[in-house]
Structure 1
Amino acid sequence: MEFDEKVLSDVHVTSENESVEGNDYTVSRFWFRVLPCGSCVSTCRGSEERDGVTDSDGDMVLSRRKNREDGEELNVLTIAHSLSTGLKDVGKQLWHGSLILADYLIHLQDKLQDKTVVELGAGTGLAGITASFFAKNVLCTDVGGDVLRLTEHNLDQNWNCLNLMKKKNYRVCQLDWMSENLVTDCGKYTITEEDVSLLNTAQIFIAGDVVYDNELTLAFLNTVYRLLSNPPSKSLYISMEKRLIFTLEDKDVVAPAYDYFCECLEALIETTSETGAQFHHQEIPVTFPQCFTYNRTKELIMCKIYTTFPDS
């Protein structure tokens, strides 16, 4: 597929979500529930119904809660996104992989407490937003001013939807997988010393649906190698959609992007870094509760890549 060829996420076809007119982007509401977990979840009671009202920047302010027919209260994220883009701008769309990753982060909320979480390829920022509900700090990374502005906008709109009194706990910066040292200039999103400190001390990394192009997949796993090679042990939780196509060459239905990821992952697992880091892979059964509304198909996959060290 060429980078200028138009692609469209089917999230907005198969998911029961609501869209409203935005400015430069479509804005969709994604209703979700948070399973009880002690005091880490605030119900955010008393929020006003403010549909149709705009804030000082002209952005639409949407209601944050509603009741289901069975009486269960739901929270809502308002996500600005594109409906279709070229392949190089797919980060501006929202994909099923981000929704299943967000589900898993809610399931994993206890392990995020007091931790720094780094999102690789944040795109619209949905997974990073979800992580920010529970983690101490979140660093959302991607490449390109347009997508980083979109990431930051969505974080600004949603980060405190479960707790209006919480302090801001997220940052957004550029991390370029294709660059030798990962750092390239991007104006206000150029990586800072504080960002580097978060990258170096983070023990939890996340990535949602970043496997779709072989060159980027290789660059992504090279980046994972660099970020996870230094102690202490670190973990990456990654979601992906096994996209099936029929090819005349194979005369069968295959998933070439996923297959290439598996090949590169196998090479990573067989690698021991100079620091002694050993890489491991674990597939995560998709049996955890579904908190967002979307079509959870068998092609959606969750896995964990993690490191251990000889003395750990």
Structure 2
Amino acid sequence: MVDPEEEEAMEEITFKSDTVLSDVHLNTPNRRHLMVRLNAVGQPVFLSQFKLLWNKDSWKDTQVKGKKQKDIQIENTVHEDRSIQEPCGKSSNSVDFLNKNETKTFPSMRIEALLDDDGDLEVVRRPRAFSETEQKELSRNKIHPKILTQGAENLNEKEQENIHHNMVKIEHTMATPLEDVGKQVWRGAFLLADYILFQRDLFKSCTVLELGAGTGIASIITATVAKTVYCTDVGEDLLAMCQRNVALNRNLTATGGGTVKVKELDWLKDDLCTDPQLPFTWSEEEISDLYAHTTIIMAADVFYDDDLTDALFKTLYRITHNLKNTCTIFLSIEKRLNFTLRHLDITCEAYNHFRFSLNDLEKLRDDKMKFIVEPIEATFPQFLVYERIEQLELWKIVAAPIS
């Protein structure tokens, strides 16, 4: 039994000053995620569902067919202001909104602020649909905790039946310290997943390695088309969460016949873990398969610390030199702007270090391997419902042997 006071406290999500929160969670409606348990370190674990848009008709609900990506980004800019969106279930048209407020400034495509006669900014406020008392009562129903047994790996039949082919269900935490950000879902993983579903033929029947997989959402999507996906990260608690997410979506991956293998891969170590006494270790057969058949390596939104970025690129160099085949690497990153006291200005230090590392990798020459780097324009369709902002980037690296 859970203490009623403890259960009530768990319903309140507290964001501390030393924690970070993914924008994906901020934009996920409360009814879409459910607190299910506490993890090994006492963090609340939530179960969220993310819709997959498999067909073109569904995709048109998110992106207007035939429009250029630039036009789509203009619409996304308008939609970022939640105070001007229409009620849930109705689609809002950015052009109609601009016409109503006479702020359209084509062809420059800028959105001007609304000013009154004195030049002061007019703030459009959301109408109060409920009284404070009613709003308080509604907020109490946003989360309904259901505490599960810690470490339970098997799902009951009812949970399996509830898994639908167009939903990805992911367990994750929210508002974590920086060292636990892998337990959250980030937009970079969605961008990478979009590209995978768009380029199904490229990933079909392949052996894929994901580095820094976090909750495993990109690996799970990849397994709908690939043959084998080695979903890797570090930390027993994180990998256990990732393994559970694989189990939650086994019906989804089964349709494509793919297999997800959750394994530990520490970028700060030269060798893979083969200790049979440890969880998420590698067998000799799996290591042989990894190096013999891997043709794609990918990583999403893992470039937030310069030391870890350096370690990742060293890992890429080491692994690609041991592969028997030419390998294509896909790296997804969100360019984050931060004000720093050191520069007294808004900078993108982590992103800049990532770009320097890409440049160094491309210039690198040895007797065995060369690396060809190129950006991929994010003009491909969205297959997941999220906010694709212009700061999201996807990079392609071809690691080819020198003949």
Please classify the TM superposition score into its range, dividing by the shorter chain length.
0.7 to 0.9
Hey, what does 2:69 align to over in structure 1? none
Kept in 1, the 8 Å contact 2:224–2:258? The answer is no
Say if 2:310 is the partner of 1:211: no
Specify which of 171, 189, 195 is matched with residue 80 of structure 1.
171
SS at structure 1 position matched to 2:372: strand
Question: Percent same amino acid among aligned pairs?
Answer: 35
Kept in 2, the 8 Å contact 1:133–1:160? The answer is no
User: What letter is aligned with 2:50?
Assistant: F
Kept in 2, the 8 Å contact 1:29–1:77? The answer is yes
Which of 1 and 2 has greater Rg?
2
Say if 2:267 is the partner of 1:181: no
User: What letter is aligned with 1:22?
Assistant: V
Say if 2:331 is the partner of 1:238: yes
Can you list the C-alpha shifts for 1:34-80, whole angstroms capped at 9, x where unaligned?
248xxxxxxxxxxxxxxx9x996469557344xxxxxxxx7001100
Say if 2:49 is the partner of 1:29: yes
Can you list the C-alpha shifts for 1:227-263, whole angstroms capped at 9, x where unaligned?
1124421011111111111223333321100101111
User: CA-atom RMSD, angstroms?
Assistant: 2.5
Hey, what does 2:374 align to over in structure 1? 282
Q: Which of the pair is proportionally richer in strand?
A: 1
Say if 2:189 is the partner of 1:98: yes
CA offset at residue 304 of structure 1? 0.8
SS at structure 2 position matched to 1:187: coil
Kept in 1, the 8 Å contact 2:35–2:46? The answer is yes
Q: Which of the pair is proportionally richer in helix?
A: 2
With 99-108 and 184-193 compared, the bigger mean Cα shift is at 184-193
Hey, what does 2:162 align to over in structure 1? 63
Kept in 2, the 8 Å contact 1:173–1:195? The answer is no
Hey, what does 1:39 align to over in structure 2? none
Hey, what does 2:97 align to over in structure 1? none
CA offset at residue 194 of structure 1? 2.7
> 2-side partners of 1:182 and 1:223: how far apart?
11
CA offset at residue 113 of structure 1? 1.3
Hey, what does 2:126 align to over in structure 1? none
User: What letter is aligned with 2:374?
Assistant: Q
Kept in 2, the 8 Å contact 1:240–1:300? The answer is yes
With 262-271 and 235-244 compared, the bigger mean Cα shift is at 262-271
Hey, what does 1:170 align to over in structure 2? 260
CA offset at residue 309 of structure 1? 2.3
Kept in 2, the 8 Å contact 1:228–1:307? The answer is yes
Kept in 1, the 8 Å contact 2:227–2:258? The answer is no
Name the TM-score, length of structure 1 as normaliser: 0.83
Q: 5 Å matches for 1:1-312?
A: 5-15=18-28, 18-24=32-38, 25-35=45-55, 57=155, 60-61=159-160, 63-65=162-164, 75-161=166-252, 163=254, 167=257, 169-183=259-273, 187-200=278-291, 201-229=293-321, 230-274=323-367, 276-311=368-403
CA offset at residue 127 of structure 1? 0.2
> 1-side partners of 2:388 and 2:53: how far apart?
16
> 1-side partners of 2:154 and 2:354: how far apart?
44
CA offset at residue 195 of structure 1? 2.5
Kept in 1, the 8 Å contact 2:231–2:262? The answer is yes
> 1-side partners of 2:224 and 2:246: how far apart?
11
SS at structure 2 position matched to 1:199: helix
SS at structure 1 position matched to 2:20: strand
5+ long unaligned stretches in structure 1: 37-51, 66-73
Kept in 1, the 8 Å contact 2:51–2:167? The answer is yes
Kept in 1, the 8 Å contact 2:224–2:257? The answer is no
> 2-side partners of 1:26 and 1:63: how far apart?
17
> 2-side partners of 1:193 and 1:180: how far apart?
16
CA shift in 2, pair 1:62/1:292, >3 Å: farther
SS at structure 2 position matched to 1:23: strand
SS at structure 1 position matched to 2:237: helix
User: What letter is aligned with 1:6?
Assistant: T
Kept in 2, the 8 Å contact 1:233–1:308? The answer is yes
Can you list the C-alpha shifts for 1:253-303, whole angstroms capped at 9, x where unaligned?
2110010111122111111244x2101111000000011111110111111
Name the TM-score, length of structure 2 as normaliser: 0.65
> 1-side partners of 2:303 and 2:253: how far apart?
30
CA offset at residue 146 of structure 1? 0.7
User: What letter is aligned with 2:185?
Assistant: L
Kept in 2, the 8 Å contact 1:11–1:95? The answer is yes
SS at structure 2 position matched to 1:203: strand
With 10-19 and 172-181 compared, the bigger mean Cα shift is at 10-19
CA offset at residue 211 of structure 1? 0.4
